[in-house]
Amino acid sequence: MGVEQKLGNMGVATLKLEQAVNWARTNAMWPMLFGLACCAIEMMSAQAANYDMSRFGMELMRASPRQSDLMIVAGRVSRKMAPVLRRLYDQMPDPKWVIAMGDCASCGGVFNNYAIVQGVDEIVPVDVYVAGCPPRPEALIHGILILHEKVRGEKIKDWA
């Protein structure tokens, strides 16, 4: 049944503002191009034709942080790159979410040394961690769907 069946005679639907806003946010979440290392290849292939991310609303990836909602940190972050990452995160307008894709972004991965940040949650607050080295495109899409569920559960008093 389409939405016409629910509207009754007046063409009016009632729903909570939370639901409407969260639905709008999840269905058009634009990721920022932040592929740093090998996980970027899997992110690209998740965006490409076979495992399409545009089905989930991420039609395009914006290179500019000012025009994106979601930062998928794909790859290892070195100590030299860390302030740049923080600056780009600060330049994103609210509402924004962060997915730490892969092992290096979640916990430092195989690199336990002086040069790699041990988990990007030392720098930015992360919503979803996707494990894998690299995670398959399906795993990344699963992580994105989990983020969508998390966003759908957000309450109105958390926004402000």
Partner 1 sequence: MNDYLQSVVPVLVERFGLESHEFRDQVNLLVPAPKITEVCLALRDEFKFDVLSGQTAVDYWPKQEPRFHVVYQLYSLSNNVRLGLRVPLDGNAPSLATVEGVYPNANWHEREIWDMFGIRFDGHSDLRRILMPYDWEGHPLRKDYPLGYEEVAFSFNQEEVDQRKPRPKE
The contacts of residue 32 (CB under 8 Å, 6+ apart) are: 61, 62, 63, 64, 65, 68, 70, 71, 72, 88, 92
The contacts of residue 23 (CB under 8 Å, 6+ apart) are: 152
Query: Minimum distance from CB of 77 to partner 1 (Å)?
Result: 12
- Residue closer to partner 1 by CB (options 44, 107) is 107
- Residue closer to partner 1 by CB (options 45, 118) is 118
Q: How far apart are CA 158 and CA 27, in angstroms?
A: 19
Give the relative orientation of helices 137-152 and 17-27 as an angle to the nearest 10 degrees. 160
- Torsion angle (degrees, nearest 10) of CA 49, 55, 59, 65: -110
- Residue closer to partner 1 by CB (options 114, 155) is 114
Query: Minimum distance from CB of 114 to partner 1 (Å)?
Result: 3
Query: Minimum distance from CB of 3 to partner 1 (Å)?
Result: 39
- Residue closer to partner 1 by CB (options 58, 124) is 124
Query: Minimum distance from CB of 92 to partner 1 (Å)?
Result: 13
Q: How far apart are CA 26 and CA 5, in angstroms?
A: 24
**Which residues bind to partner 1, rule: CB under 8 A?**
79-80, 86, 107-108, 112-115, 118-119, 121-125
